[in-house]
Structure 1
Amino acid sequence: MRILMTCDPEIPVPPGKYGGVERLVSGLCQEYQAMGHEVYLVANSESTEPVHKRFGWKSKKSRGLKNVLANAFQLREIVREIKPDVIHSFSRLLYLYPMFISGTKVHVLQTYGRAISQRSTDMARRICGKYIHFACCGAHMLKNIKGYEDWNVVYNFTDTDYFKAPDIERKYLVFLGRIEDIKGTHEAIMVAKKSNTPLIIAGNIEPEHQEYFDTKVKPYIDGEFIRYIGPVDDQQKQSLLEGAKAFLMPIKWEEPFGIVMVEAMACGAPVLAFRRGSVPEIVVDGTGMISDSIHEMAKHVGTMKCISPAALNRYVKNTFSREVIASHYINLFYQWLKQ
């Protein structure tokens, strides 16, 4: 199968540092090729992902009419050149329109890892007809979408070959993510204090959230019971999660997926999370506990020692590995091509 992957133009594939979507695209490119497919990529011009052929977007900005038109008409010409069987799009829907208005007939899967616009997807159906298909990384994202019956829910993946789950003593709790109110950093501190369990906090502080850190987080940091270690790379993340008694996810918003929950479980750390966003889809029996309050989450801390790190790692490999997720997508592609 000839597969064309597209990604928004701002960040290269693979990304140097931050870039969740770009990491997904990179992993899928690799896995599709390992499965014997011919893969092409349209992404930021500085991308280095090894594929059959790579194209750099003319504009490195995905917003603004001039930028959108430049990339949209470029995509039309690329499709005419390589004649893909399927387009797997992680870029803007608008990029597809000149191609379909010109009469191109190729199946496109538009994958969402962010809020879904009913208006945009309805417009795409009118323009692209039966050749447009949609997927998202969590079923909860579809609760307010009309006509969601033909949507496909395909979760994000993590590198299950990288993350390990050693059978070692686990002594502390971990919060890992952006330091801001909706991520629940302050709530994680309260859980640690109520459960009398040390907490290590890791993550970025964006300028707009500095006041939150200064007032809701910093006053509790003592360098021993509550520690803040700043941003971490993959190696530091792995080491941190491998020693965690539990990973805390007291989110206060509808998080689309939350890949860090899966990474924690791959490292053998069960997840304690609030009942928001994708949490009920990811945290199932034997992988952690879902709660509705700080008090309830603190009570659950003491029950985590009965969860096997090895079993958590197996759950992630069977459900969220790159091979499993890529196979889901490939099966969809073959289904559409047979129609």
Structure 2
Amino acid sequence: MLVPPWLSVPPPGYGGLEQVVAGLVDALVARGHAVTLMGAGTDHGTAADYLATLDELQYDRLGEALPELAHLARVNHLISPADFDIVHDHTTIGPLVAGRRTVPTVATVHGNPVGEYGTVLSNTDRGVGLVAISRTQRALNPHLPWVGTVHNAMGLDDFPRKDVPGHGPVLWLARFSPDKGPELAIRACRAAGLPLVLAGKCNEPAERRYYDEVIRPMLGPDVTVVLDADRDAVLRLLVEASCLIMPIQWEEPFGIVMLEAMATGTPVVALNRGAVPELVRPGVTGLICERPEELPAALRAAPGLDPADCVEHVARTFSTERMAAGYEEVYRRFVVAATPRTAVREPARVTPA
């Protein structure tokens, strides 16, 4: 199981990819698999064996290509058919270099498979199978070598939950980016007469610039800002919130924060973009709006939804056990379909699932 070199698994705060991988690893181990997690840094909190390519996490170089390439080059030297049946890659650049491995590789696509990222993915070795995290994501670029679709998942054991609807402020929880719509969250909450907490990741230059130039001038006494919260603070904010607002302005490929909210019993109010309809049950675990003008009324109505329905929805539909079973099926089909791999070979052709 390969992760990027930026964050530990699980992460101390922001890091949806790493949170998902932590749950997947533990569920696979619980199902009897021997799993080796390969990342950077000396810390991890999973049931897997662990190999680090570097002693230090590379978070301060997030966004650069070379740290991930060097990490993957070291990983490739550690992988041999004698030790592993399959490689599951969660990195961005990994699909481009996976062809150098002598072990079959599936790669989960965690971003939108279009634009520059789509160009990278369309030029991967044909023996690498791509896994989508939502039907919406897969449909954005259906011609890629997809071999399966497996929803992300969330273990509930570490989540506090509420038994009655929350009476706290509306919560926006994301990185500070126009794609995530924090300015829409402010306008919607003001129109609804509701207080708002903006809890955002804001430690990269583009995020700080957007916050300073766009969001800061919009702040007032009705908006509380929490920057770069740790995991405990995030969970506390989720439990206290009356609802989570997701006014996204892009085709969000998944949106793990919606699962996190529902896992605590907090309903979701979202615009109908990306994978939102795959995650939220309208009228049961949240409300889905077609236009920003509909958000204020939905924010006022959402606290009337039953927290128990939110938790039950995550437990039934987005459990780590279900995710692990989905990946098991992908692994089995892919290994059977892949031709024996050698250092120099013709790429295997895999029929997409």
**Is the aligned partner of 1:93 residue 2:115?**
no
Q: Which residue is equivalent to 2:250? A: 253
Matching residue within 314, 318, 321 for 2:319: 321
Which residue identity is paired with 1:241? L
In the superposition, relative to structure 1, how do residues 167 and 10 fare at CA in structure 2: closer, same or farther (>3 Å)?
Answer: closer
Pairwise mapping of residues 124-273 of structure 1 onto structure 2 (< 5 A)? 124-126=124-126, 128=127, 132-147=128-143, 150-171=146-167, 172-206=169-203, 207-214=205-212, 216-223=214-221, 225-273=222-270
The corresponding residue for 2:348 is: none
Contact kept? 1:68, 1:94, Cα under 8 Å: no
Deviation for aligned residue 1:150: 4.6
CA pair 269-98 structure 1, distance change in 2 beyond 3 A: same
Partner of residue 108 from structure 2, selected from 99, 107, 111:
111
TM-score between both structures, scaled by the size of structure 1: 0.83
Check conservation: 1:202, 1:231, Cα contact below 8 A.
yes
| Map 1:20-59 → 2, pairs under 5 A | 20-49=16-45, 53-57=49-53
1:50 deviation in Å? 5.4
Give CA deviations for 1:137-164 in whole Å, capped at 9, x if unaligned. 1222223424358542212222311223
SS of match in other structure, 1:174: strand
| Percent of pairs with identical residues | 27
AA paired with 2:16? G
Structure 2 CA distance for partners of 1:336 and 1:245, relative to 1, 3 Å: same
User: How much is the aligned-residue C-alpha RMSD, in angstroms?
Assistant: 2.9
Q: CA 1:146–1:312 in 2, change beyond 3 Å: closer, same or farther?
A: closer
Change (3 A) 1:55 1:204: closer
Paired residues, number:
323
Give, in angstroms, the shift of residue 177 of structure 1. Answer: 1.6
- For the residue of structure 1 that corresponds to 2:22, the secondary structure is helix
**Which amino acid letter does the alignment assign opposite residue 37 of structure 1?**
H
SS in 2 for 1:228: strand
Partner AA of 1:278 in structure 2: A
Task: Give the stretch that moved more between structures: 260-269 or 45-54.
Answer: 45-54
**Secondary structure at the counterpart of residue 177 of structure 1:** strand
Measured after TM superposition, the shift of residue 77 of structure 1 is 4.1
Equivalent residue number for residue 302 of structure 2: 304
Q: Answer whether contact 2:173 2:257 (CA < 8 A) is retained.
A: yes
CA separation of 1:169/1:22 partners in 2, compared to 1, >3 Å: closer, same or farther?
closer
Is the partner of 1:124 in helix, strand or coil? coil
TM-score computed with the length of structure 2 as normaliser = 0.80
| In structure 1, distance between residues paired with 2:133 and 2:328 | 16
Deviations 1:206-247 (A, max 9, x none): 443445434543344344x32223332222222222222221
Alpha-carbon contact 2:112-2:252 (below 8 Å) kept: no
Contact 1:262 1:316 in 2 (8 A): yes
* Distance across 2 between alignment mates of 1:139 and 1:115: 12
Aligned 8 A contact 2:130 2:145 in 1: no
CA-CA distance at 1:316 after TM superposition: 0.7
What corresponds to 2:343 in structure 1? Answer: none
5+ residue gaps, structure 2: 338-353
Deviation at residue 297 of structure 1 after TM alignment = 0.9
